[in-house]
Structure 1
Amino acid sequence: MVVPTPAPRARPEKIQAVELPVIDLSRRYEAPGLIVAACETHGFFKVINHGVPQEIIAPVEEQSLRFFNKPSSEKLKAGPMNPFGYGSKNIGFNGDIGEVEYLLLGANPNLFDISQRAKNISDDDPAKFRY
């Protein structure tokens, strides 16, 4: 038996622009409440005044792009998450079809060492990527 797929939901004629919530971490006492509100209303936010130097951010972004540009078969070697590692999920229940990918890394080196699987994450220096 063949069953036709349901028609996609009609999209609104006009899409409204939404301003990205910006959280200023220099406002120590207000930031936690603003983060909760941004997560509840938008699901994401941008952080400013976090104190992380650009010379630390740039290599992490470069390594992340290199990892996520690898073929799926290579990325899957860095998973499954247990509790850290690579994962991906299909999305698309409301017409927004696609896949979301993520790589969860631990901040505490005493709890779990992702560098055991990091050769699949970074070709250069797995420990460097982690730190």
Structure 2
Amino acid sequence: MAIPTVDLSPFFTDGGDDEDEKAAAVEIIKQACSDHGFFQVVNHNVPLDLMSRAMQLSKTFFAFPAEEKLKYSPGAAAPLPAGYSKQPDRSPDKNEYLLMFQPQSGFNVLPSDPPHFRDVLEEMFNHLRQTGEVIEKIVNDCLGLPPGFLKQYNQDRSWDFMAALRYFPATETENIGITEHEDGNCITLVVQDEVGGLEVKNDQNWIPVVPCPGTIVVNLGDVIQVLSNKKFKSATHRVVRSRERSRHSFAFFYTVEGDKWVEPLPEFTRGTGEAAKYRGFMYKDYQALRMRNKTHPPSRPEDAITIAHYAIST
């Protein structure tokens, strides 16, 4: 099985055949969201030269000595701090990342070296956010929701964030960069380099998401799964590290405001005669529980808080 690839160009242009092409794209995305919550997009309006430049500058930054990168470490007080971070000392080195927000922290905490890195990251952030808005609208239509319904969960996009990541090469005994998980947000956009390693789970099988230049990987998160009462899937995925090289990627997390209430929508419960599969929750409360998984990892991995914490037993 291959992850479907969707051409988004009809959503950025006006033409006579656009409506038919849009309808075809919507059907592919709807099926992918129902099956496993993963698809890829091309002609997504993010300039290819920008993606290439951002990736190269990210690789340059992560190749700097540790003392240089640590100059951009965030303060310890922030729960999800912007800046450079590395895996805690209690774990084997698996990855390091540079986290950025807008507009709360701006981009002033980001590296000014290599030259133009900060500007390129900001441009990358803004383009991915615009693409996220288009995909959100498509998902909104796929679910048959009123126009602009999902947009109301984050009108000013103030909770979105992006990470530049580096996964270190695998060791002889361990090759998992990130264990299998689902994202807690709405929609995640991923730009990966040629090394690959991203895999999506479907029917207990792991499917590699093969890198393709200029392609952006899209996966749904827990918020969409809950709102749709599991009509659409929050994608289960992981990263497997290569023995030969580091893997670099960008992940843009298109999310919702912290004080938004998330629960199965009546269109997918009372409107269909189905029972709600999840209890409602405040988004910031769920994110706090997920963050605790990172800051205070449970002794058993199965005790980590996931969206199953809110699942209603049937």
TM-score scaled by length of structure 1: 0.54
Q: Distance in 2 between matches of 1:54 and 1:103?
A: 21
2:57 is aligned with what amino acid? Q
User: Residue in 2 aligned with 1:16?
Assistant: none
Residue by residue over 1:53-103, the C-alpha shift from the partner in whole angstroms, topping out at 9 and shown as x without a partner, is 21111110111011111111111111137421111115997xxx5321111
Number of aligned residues = 100
User: Residue in 2 aligned with 1:24?
Assistant: 6
Change (3 A) 1:118 1:92: closer
User: Residue in 1 aligned with 2:45?
Assistant: 51
Q: Distance in 2 between matches of 1:25 and 1:92?
A: 43
Q: Distance in 1 between matches of 2:5 and 2:90?
A: 29
User: Residue in 1 aligned with 2:140?
Assistant: none
1:118 is aligned with what amino acid? P
Larger RCO, structures 1/2 (Cα 8 Å, 6+ apart)? 2
Q: Distance in 1 between matches of 2:61 and 2:34?
A: 28
Q: Distance in 1 between matches of 2:114 and 2:49?
A: 20
Task: Confirm whether residue 125 of structure 1 aligns to residue 119 of structure 2.
Answer: no
User: Residue in 2 aligned with 1:61?
Assistant: 55
Picking from 78, 92, 95, the partner of 1:100 is: 95
Identify the structure with the greater strand proportion.
Answer: 2
Change (3 A) 1:67 1:34: farther
Superposition CA RMSD, Å: 3.7
SS at match of 1:73: helix
SS at match of 2:114: coil
SS at match of 1:98: coil
Gapped runs of 5+ residues in structure 2?
Answer: 9-24, 123-314
Q: Distance in 2 between matches of 1:23 and 1:88?
A: 32
User: Residue in 1 aligned with 2:86?
Assistant: 88
TM-score scaled by length of structure 2: 0.26
Residue by residue over 1:11-66, the C-alpha shift from the partner in whole angstroms, topping out at 9 and shown as x without a partner, is xxxxxxxx6745537345726x639935xxxxxx6733133121111110111011
Gapped runs of 5+ residues in structure 1?
Answer: 1-18, 39-44
Change (3 A) 1:118 1:51: same
SS at match of 1:74: helix
